[in-house]
Homo-oligomer: A and B are copies of this chain.
Amino acid sequence: MRTGRRPAKRDGTTRDELTFARPLVTVDVVIFTLRDGRLEVLLVRRGGEPFTGCWALPGGYIHPTEDADLDAAARRILFEKTGVESPYLEQLQGFGNAVRDPRGWTATFVYFALIASDALALKRGANADEIAWWGVSEQGMVEPQLAFDHTVILRRAVARLRAKVEYTSLPVHLLPAKFTLPDLQKVYEQILGHLIDKSAFRKRMAEADFVEPLPGERRPASNRPAQLYRVKPGLSTVFFDRTI
């Protein structure tokens, strides 16, 4: 577990590793939602140094007394910003090097989260500009310049999302609890960036077997109404046998 090369204390750690040379470690969360059929990411404007005034991914330090584990820290950060209690949350990747923060060697555990845009209340600070949703391009680009290495991180998160959408049920987490199959198909198409054959799509969903119709409930319109579905209780992410 350790490789200290200087005189070791009783527990095997060296003084300078514990006291001086310890990198700063944070948890950052890439929070996605879908609004008006567009993929958006939550950004916050930084108050303190460094990168003052820059937009950045929400993140923060681990609170050892509050956070049971890394997931809990990510969930706390997300809840503090969005008020969402049970998002889809998945660890993305760690990023750490000597140059991403001008203050020195830092590392971050990055999570990515999917939430439905309904029942969502952004927690703004004194300044209404402090937190906002920003549209994300298919390549993971966003309008403002981001602090730290957050441009790279966001690009990775979008790449992961797009990759997993090909073969998982992830997109349901971007929809409200009740949705129709055409709704779901539109989300897949939006994130993948291309149209999907209706018949093929429904076959996949039937095989994957993670949604169930809500008996009787249909979404009315001036045309044939669509069956409402929900995710089968107790199911988390489902992996498909084949790509969509």
Query: Among the listed stretches A102-110, A135-143, A200-208, A210-218, which one makes contact with chain B, having 4 or more residues with CB under 8 Å of it?
Result: A102-110
Inside 8 A of A87's CB, which chain B residues have their CB? none
In contact, A21 and B148 (Cβ under 8 angstroms): no
In contact, B96 and A1 (Cβ under 8 angstroms): no
Kindly state whether residue A3 has any CB partner on chain B within 8 Å. yes
Select one of B1, B68, B103 contacting A26, CB under 8 A: B1
Instruction: Annotate A194-234 by CB proximity to B: 1 below 8 A, 0 otherwise.
Output: 00000000000000000000000000000000000000000
Kindly state whether residue A145 has any CB partner on chain B within 8 Å. no
Interface size bracket, A side: 35 or more
Query: A110 — nearest CB in chain B belongs to which residue?
Result: B94
Residues of chain A touching chain B, judged by Cβ–Cβ distance below 8 Å, are 1-4, 8, 10-13, 17-18, 21-26, 28, 46-51, 56-57, 59-65, 67-70, 77, 80, 91, 93-98, 103-105, 107, 109, 147-148
Beyond A1-B60, A22-B25, A62-B105, list 17 extra A-B contacts (CB 8 Å): A1-B51, A2-B26, A2-B61, A4-B61, A8-B48, A12-B47, A12-B48, A13-B61, A18-B24, A21-B61, A21-B63, A22-B22, A23-B25, A23-B62, A64-B105, A91-B93, A91-B94
